[in-house]
Copies of this chain bind each other. A is one copy, B any other.
């Protein structure tokens, strides 16, 4: 009899990653696909990318063998999309609805860092979000999305970098190596072309967040504008962390997400 399969899915604003293990703990495989934050790409695309990552992770095994799919979802928004996403995933890959479970990505991140214990977790990916738990208290800070928040995230660092690129081009600030990096990164020859690419993008969050790595690189090479952006966003991260620590006492901090690894 085949081993039943458990699948964990990290459904993010830029990419989706799934990992499949047997109920006995044996590693089966992992899968990867495009963005699946329903707040930015919609339920349909979110479902397609989650399913693609799951199917890829089980390495040709049948979906009927899956006992449980646990999804940590970015843009969870209080579960407003849960029912539609569960139906869509169930129909698309042929697993029962009861075996699909969705939680907010920050809750999953907290559990993975502290295994149910006390501490503060920060997700610094395309977006940003902060959650602290201690002594029965749960404090959330940030997690407000790319328009109203996402301080310290790849989106915010990439965005500030690009704003500085245009300020440098029209003479509001001095030269910065971010300009040549932006032209190279987006493969353009003019700032008008760069503007057009950004404003016509169907996935502007990923497109802009992808520039964060160039800001980190420029800072490492000593570019003052890039260093100032990273300092500012580090202050934002500290501000969120302090707001939680002052409330719950616990100072244990775990940072996860792609931006933190840059």
Please list the residues of chain A having a beta carbon within 8 angstroms of any beta carbon in chain B.
Answer: 39, 77-78, 139-142, 144-145, 147-149, 159, 162-163, 166-167, 170-173, 192, 195-196, 198-199, 204, 208, 239-240, 242-243, 246-247
Contact = CB atoms under 8 A, between A and B. Distances in A.
A84 B247 CA distance: 57
B246 A171 contact: yes
Contacts of A196: 77
A163 B150 CA distance: 10
Contacts of A173: 239
B243 A148 contact: no
Contacts of A171: 139, 141, 243, 246-247
Contacts of A39: 199
A240 B172 contact: yes
Contact of A170 (B141, B166, B167): B141
A195 B242 CA distance: 23
Given A147-B199, A147-B204, A198-B148, A142 B163 contact: no
A132 to B, nearest CB: 11
27 contacts: A39-B199, A139-B171, A140-B170, A141-B172, A142-B170, A142-B172, A144-B166, A144-B195, A145-B199, A147-B159, A147-B198, A147-B199, A147-B204, A148-B159, A148-B162, A148-B163, A148-B166, A148-B195, A148-B198, A149-B166, A167-B239, A170-B243, A171-B247, A172-B240, A172-B242, A172-B243, A173-B239
Contacts of A139: 171
Contacts of A78: 192
A163 B236 CA distance: 12
A170 B131 CA distance: 11
Contacts of A167: 239
Nearest to A244: B171
A173 B242 CA distance: 10
Nearest to A141: B170
